[in-house]
Structure 1
Amino acid sequence: MRADRLVSLVLLLRRRGRLTADVLARELEVSTRTVLRDIEALSAAGVPVHAERGRHGGFALLPGFRTELTGLNHDEALALLTAGSGRGEQVFGLRSALASAMRKVVDALPDGHRATASDAAQRFLVDPDTDLLPRRQVTEEVPAAAMAEIRRAVLAGHRLRVHYAAAGREPGWRTVDPIGLVTVHDRGYLLATRSGMDRTYRLSRVLAAEELPEPARRPDRVDLDRVWRERCAGFLSDGHVTVLVRVAPARREALLDTALAVRAEAPDADGRVRLELAFQDAWHAEWAVWRLGADAEVLAPPSLRTALRDRAAAIAALYDEPS
């Protein structure tokens, strides 16, 4: 780990010039004392790093320290840098590793590509924290130690013990055979089998994990996209509520954001959109449609129409009396 950190320190100085020990410590996620020890180690190894004193001082490198990755053209480098701006690395606990990799890629580019690729990547933004609606995208947190164990087990093909807090149940340990990791809208999932049965675990509910030495019982190769589609289809057919609703086009996205899945969509009368949606349960469906007011109308099931009518009547009666 220290060797990787020393390389990252050199690349930071190569790319950004003179930096203070405090800035380097923040970038590398270590203490200032560790940075000073690393600087001494680099100097002892012959790396031309020197201290510049004064108000605007810091540490800097003499020019000429890099290798060129000549096989990358401009568009290939741009694709890597743009991909690195997404948030999947946060879900899988790879933020520091990605930052280090990006520094190495940028430093290794030929002179003619480095500046143009870096500048161009600033013009692309992937999955920002907020969208045009006033909602902040929240990435689910997973304990770093647990995520590291899960990654190692998935990649090594070993069995895995997870301390898992399923919804509405007490946390408990279970041993699984990991298949792969999936991230969807900043939610991470572990696809696995347990006693031969398909299981999908939400990473944010994993409290701890332990990679086991024995090999996982799983195929040597896997089509993760196909497995995920099959898991989703099974999930949506298992006890969820299907609702047919008419919605104003301007509120379509607000309704879709609350649904589990869209099963059908077609234009309807008066310019509205007719949607067949899956919700977790009746209460979930009622809440999702109610918040849209008169912009959405439930067509089926009748029980949901009745529930919404009764709620509206209770609200109307409440406000019919003077305050």
Structure 2
Amino acid sequence: MRASRLLSLLLLLQTRGRLTASEIAEELEVSVRTVYRDVEALSAAGVPVYADRGPLGGYRLLDGYRTRLNGLTAAEASSLFLAGLPGPAAELGLADLAAAAELKLLAALPPEPRSQAARMRERFHFDVPGWYRSADDAPFLMDIAEAVWEDRVVRFRYRRWGPAEVERMVHPYGLILKGGSWYLAAACAGSVRTYRVGRIMSAEVLDKRFERPEGFDLVEFWRQFAADFASRMYTAQAVIRLVPDRRELLAYTLGADVTEKALADAVTEADGWLRLTIPIESVRHATWQLLRLGGSVEVLEPPELRALMADTVSQLTRMYGVTGPGAASGS
């Protein structure tokens, strides 16, 4: 434990230059007295550590001194792809490894690339979840990650859409982070399926191991799954009329990609409204989406969607007692 701390202290001084005892103590999460003892130990081992006195003082290494003790452990190297995502790294239990790997990398870099790495960290930040939503609560994520890493079979209870719960025995192949939610790609009953980790109700990592299929490409699997999911999601089409200045609101409601494709083939009618065809998941889902546009949209087809829109508006009218444009409470 102390050897690891001494190495971290040495790498800190090499990476950041002059540091006070208090700054070192805060970084290493130890007491200032421990820092004093560790500096003495480094000095006794022949490391040229110097103390500058005064208000701007602190500990520093002799100019030009560089240690070559910066090799990455296998576990630290495995965490590097998450070095820019501290949140996901912490969720997988790799936060300390990622931090240690980053420190060693910075220590190994010459001054100019090191300063560029520091500037990169100051100027770019990844915030994974989308707006107006938080990341999934996935209490069994670390268990699943362990099983993925060690090729071990997992048994879990899973909550599907709706109230139904099922039990599954799977071979976990990989984890994917999408929009703040973790997804598990796993073999079950002869095919590779996806499971939202936040919907796993309980999990047991078994001692039994499985043989990971040679050549399985997690990135390609997810790309194909995402494309198939999009094609399955949109089961029908609707023809609508839209007020021209509501393009952005339509994009916010349906998604930018869907709206952009629909607008590319839109026709401008005599009254200036746009006539376009949009993909929909279902009549009920489309009703919920299009009602958000209020009077800026008119559904033309299919008839079931137009009828459901009209029925919903009638219910709202009865609920709020609105009888006309000038109606108001108390008038």
So what's the TM-score if we normalise by structure 2?
A: 0.67
Partner Cα distance (2:275, 2:126) in 1: 29
Partner Cα distance (1:5, 1:300) in 2: 69
Give the CA deviation at 1:267.
2.8
Residue 284 (structure 1) aligns with: 285
Partner Cα distance (2:5, 2:305) in 1: 58
Give the CA deviation at 1:174.
3.2
Residue identity over aligned pairs, in percent, reads 30
Partner Cα distance (1:290, 1:207) in 2: 35
Larger Rg: 2
**Pick aligned residue for 1:148 from 142, 147, 169:** 142
Closer/same/farther in 2, CA of residues 15 and 198 from structure 1, 3 Å limit? same
Equivalent runs, 1:241-252 vs 2, <5 Å: 241-244=235-238, 246=240, 248-252=246-250
Query: SS where residue 254 of structure 1 aligns?
Result: helix
Equivalent runs, 1:1-323 vs 2, <5 Å: 7-8=7-8, 10-16=10-16, 17-18=18-19, 44=41, 46=45, 60=59, 62-63=61-62, 64=65, 66-67=67-68, 84=84, 88-89=88-89, 92-127=92-127, 135-136=131-132, 138-143=134-139, 146-169=140-163, 174-216=168-210, 218-232=212-226, 235=229, 241-244=235-238, 246=240, 248-257=246-255, 265=262, 266-270=264-268, 272=274, 274=276, 276-279=278-281, 282-317=283-318, 318=320, 319-320=322-323, 322-323=328-329
Closer/same/farther in 2, CA of residues 169 and 295 from structure 1, 3 Å limit? same
- Is the contact between residue 91 and residue 183 of structure 1 (CA under 8 Å) also seen in structure 2? no
The unaligned stretches of length 5 or more in structure 1 are 70-79
Give the CA deviation at 1:114.
1.0
Partner Cα distance (1:129, 1:313) in 2: 37
Aligned partner of 2:287: which letter? E
Give the CA deviation at 1:300.
4.0
Give the CA deviation at 1:13.
5.0
So what's the TM-score if we normalise by structure 1?
A: 0.69
Give the CA deviation at 1:292.
2.4
Which is further off, 85-94 or 247-256? Answer: 85-94
Query: SS where residue 291 of structure 1 aligns?
Result: helix
Closer/same/farther in 2, CA of residues 249 and 66 from structure 1, 3 Å limit? farther
- Is the contact between residue 251 and residue 259 of structure 2 (CA under 8 Å) also seen in structure 1? no
Deviations 1:96-138 (CA, angstroms, capped at 9, x unpaired) = 43333222222211112211332245344444777xxxx3452
Closer/same/farther in 2, CA of residues 263 and 254 from structure 1, 3 Å limit? closer
Query: SS where residue 187 of structure 2 aligns?
Result: strand
Residue 76 (structure 2) aligns with: none
Give the length in aligned residue pairs: 300
Aligned partner of 1:315: which letter? L
- Is the contact between residue 25 and residue 35 of structure 2 (CA under 8 Å) also seen in structure 1? no
Deviations 1:25-79 (CA, angstroms, capped at 9, x unpaired) = 5x66xx657x97688567657477899999999x85545454498xxxxxxxxxx
